[in-house]
Structure 1
């Protein structure tokens, strides 16, 4: 933990995680009591939604007891806060399964840097969350269990951080780690009605595996409130300024509701969610202007990279013969794309150049997070490759461009779909280094609901 961040009173007290940590630091509640309550909720509710693949009940109780003996307990920003970790980064003593039976059962010997930073800040890892195989799919199930949306258990919790979003939305933990390769934090956050943020490149240690997701994936946070997400992200990034949530200066905001491809239709209620966010931003004093975001050929670049994203991970699998059929076909297509050299750096360079020109005139862009109501909760892993691809592309076309260029983006809840009765959300995105701006704006829009 950065020693400059140690003063407890400097942290915002607004959301459940921040409030819990404040009570633990003040000595009005113990870490063991906080963890016991979280484990009781998980025991009662997880069977309904299958958010967790591993519940670390015994280990979490022991870690909470150890935390009570830390001499710096009254200075820890996440003192006693129960957190969930997506099951594709290393947690010491646990196998890193990545949603697949093909991975090794050997336990990790050390924590990933993200986990180390959370523990150093006083957080307790209570469990590991469900994800689709190798994080490749926009719905979460592992062939045995379907992860369900707490807001509508008949629908998916999204992917690939679907378990993390479900755990937060169900109130099982106040914050959860996720990672985002083509929207894998923002998509489930939008589906489940929670806040999720993907930071820009190199803000948080990003290693999931060597060359995992071809450098497009970043570790980030899902939380019930913007303030809790900002607090957790400040820990992951080791940057105090991310937790401060100052109102941003008057921003130039572009409102872009058209999708990256004309082949995708956008539900008018998702368009309305983005417009609602724009109206709130205007009411807060920002300059908001309808725009066309210059996607160029970003949709094609994203589609070409998606099948190749899991190739490096697949090469290290202990039992590749156990991969799901949809995944095998996806990876075979990725291998063909790589063999034919269809992916070139200049594809991304062109997209980024257009966006850099756009952001000469604007500070932030607002889009819908999704294009349609999330799919039904079902065993998508048992369905064909084409059905999985069509489902993913149909409802989540807006998020991947920001992974392509490595810029920060977030999804903020923005009401409820009047027909499907599922959450709506708007996506906020900006150029490199705009995490503080996006968090400050998100807190303004959240507070004006």
Structure 2
């Protein structure tokens, strides 16, 4: 039993962040007991998923005690909620490695702005999650470790926010910080059965690497419920969490299953997930039309140039020489140096594509766009860092063609669960909106959560057991 409410640890772990915070604010639970219970669960499941690079055990308990004794606890939207932070933003007292084993700089002296905002809201940082080197790839692994998907440990939790997604899907934390430069929030959410929002450009503070991958990368959160995601997003955006209001009219939503990458396409289960969501939207009274967004080869090249240059820029920002990188990343960064020197990262490319996408939504009065996220099951959990640059890039491009365009355009995009594959892994879909559509995306996600409820945690790791909804 815990000391402040009589709840066993197993009844604390698995509760949504919103419920935990409500109980801590009311005094029914203490933040210390909440954090202690989640640390115990972490100890139990971490050997099987490899989600964390650092566990901040003593610091987290001290931070939880500070929440319990704070006079402002009653106004904290995330009071006592354990969170994990991705290893590419600053956490005071810890080294930020960005997945580079060669990074050995001094500990950070201050938190990044997003970590400051989480802590100010009452969240407690319990650990720093694993990423692929320089956050470049769609699987999370490195020398001596392969992070695993709680839904199927033979599969990757994806990347680059893979450690954060694995931690949330296994119930270790209710929400986790991540960020997204080419799909790095949305791909792990799709792989691990979570809901996430990639905010639009400028909505949430950056501070990711040298320059947020030339403006493509944005911070966000991973969660198991839309309510948790909405609160986390509001905190990160510096907004007051408020109820999501209905738009007051049916939405007009485009649907496209055409892949922007030639030679790739969604498999049968991924297409069926889109069809399931289309049926739910239609039943709710929304209008769904078939429209393909005009994603041009020039836009694809613009995103690719920023991805390549980001590797070189971030290695230099960390003070890691190219010789200290994994072979795949070394090749990536060398290409990036050439791209940067040749002036191929052009702001006008992103600006033109953003304007084109704004016209796409406005021209036919479209509120949102629905698409697949990935072509098939997550990549296998293996030491991808031992494979070549070409093998990594090819595997990523074939699996995840639907995400990068929206980073270049700086538009908000949300991923939510939409069933399970016959083999048991989660299915997901992606919604994209015009600038400023974050709350519209969250509202619609909440409507779909009610109509098509999803299992909140991976079955084997689910601390609530049979209390989670059955997969749709």
What's the TM-score once normalised by structure 1's chain length?
0.94
Q: Is the 8 A contact 1:227 1:245 kept in 2?
A: no
> Paired residue for 2:386, among 382, 388, 405?
382
Aligned residue for 1:271? 271
- Counterpart CA distance in 2 for 1:221 and 1:285 is 29
Aligned residue for 2:115? 115
What aligned pairs does 1:183-194 form with structure 2 within 5 A after superposition? 183-194=183-194
Q: What is the DSSP-based 3-state SS (H/G/I as helix, E as strand, rest coil) of the residue aligned with 2:414?
A: strand
Structure 1: runs of 5+ lacking an equivalent = 1-13
Q: Is the 8 A contact 2:206 2:217 kept in 1?
A: yes
- Counterpart CA distance in 1 for 2:23 and 2:86 is 26
Aligned residue for 1:34? 34
What aligned pairs does 1:155-174 form with structure 2 within 5 A after superposition? 155-174=155-174
- Counterpart CA distance in 1 for 2:305 and 2:268 is 28
Q: What is the DSSP-based 3-state SS (H/G/I as helix, E as strand, rest coil) of the residue aligned with 1:359?
A: helix
- Counterpart CA distance in 2 for 1:197 and 1:319 is 31
After TM superposition, give the deviation of residue 318 of structure 1 in Å: 3.2
Deviates more, 1:29-38 or 1:245-254: 245-254
Deviates more, 1:62-71 or 1:185-194: 62-71
Deviates more, 1:407-416 or 1:264-273: 264-273
Aligned residue for 1:444? 447
Aligned residue for 2:124? 124
Aligned residue for 2:395? 391
- 1:300 matches 2:304: no
Aligned residue for 2:459? none
After TM superposition, give the deviation of residue 15 of structure 1 in Å: 6.5
Aligned residue for 2:215? 215
- Which digits, 9 at most, give the CA deviation of each residue in 1:219-247, with x for residues without a partner? 00100111101011111111125x42223
What aligned pairs does 1:353-372 form with structure 2 within 5 A after superposition? 353-360=355-362, 361=364, 362-372=366-376
Aligned residue for 2:44? 44
- Counterpart CA distance in 2 for 1:172 and 1:15 is 11
- Counterpart CA distance in 1 for 2:389 and 2:209 is 24
Q: Is the 8 A contact 2:42 2:172 kept in 1?
A: yes
After TM superposition, give the deviation of residue 270 of structure 1 in Å: 1.1
Q: Is the 8 A contact 1:15 1:225 kept in 2?
A: no
> Paired residue for 2:350, among 345, 348, 351?
348
Q: Is the 8 A contact 1:372 1:394 kept in 2?
A: no
Deviates more, 1:335-344 or 1:325-334: 335-344
- Counterpart CA distance in 2 for 1:76 and 1:339 is 47
Compute the RMSD of aligned alpha carbons. Answer: 1.5
Aligned residue for 1:428? 431
Deviates more, 1:207-216 or 1:335-344: 335-344
Aligned residue for 1:145? 145
Q: Is the 8 A contact 1:15 1:228 kept in 2?
A: no
Q: Is the 8 A contact 2:357 2:409 kept in 1?
A: no
Aligned residue for 2:240? 240
Deviates more, 1:104-113 or 1:47-56: 104-113
Aligned residue for 2:260? 260
- Which digits, 9 at most, give the CA deviation of each residue in 1:306-344, with x for residues without a partner? 211222211123342321010000111112222333343
Aligned residue for 2:325? 323
Structure 2: runs of 5+ lacking an equivalent = 1-13, 453-472
Q: Is the 8 A contact 1:136 1:160 kept in 2?
A: yes
Aligned residue for 2:418? 414
- Counterpart CA distance in 2 for 1:61 and 1:280 is 43
Q: Is the 8 A contact 2:206 2:212 kept in 1?
A: no
Q: Is the 8 A contact 1:25 1:76 kept in 2?
A: yes
- Which digits, 9 at most, give the CA deviation of each residue in 1:372-424, with x for residues without a partner? 21110000011111110111111111011110011110110000112x32111
- Counterpart CA distance in 2 for 1:139 and 1:304 is 20
Deviates more, 1:351-360 or 1:163-172: 351-360
- Which digits, 9 at most, give the CA deviation of each residue in 1:189-231, with x for residues without a partner? 0001111111111111111133131110000010011110101
Change in 2 beyond 3 A, CA 1:49/1:442: same
- Which digits, 9 at most, give the CA deviation of each residue in 1:143-199, with x for residues without a partner? 111010000000000000000000000000000000000000000000011111111
Deviates more, 1:322-331 or 1:245-254: 245-254
After TM superposition, give the deviation of residue 19 of structure 1 in Å: 0.3
Aligned residue for 1:336? 338
Q: How many residues align?
A: 434
What's the TM-score once normalised by structure 2's chain length?
0.89
Aligned residue for 2:62? 62
Aligned residue for 2:460? none
- Counterpart CA distance in 1 for 2:416 and 2:65 is 35
- Which digits, 9 at most, give the CA deviation of each residue in 1:83-111, with x for residues without a partner? 00001111110000111112233100011
Aligned residue for 2:464? none
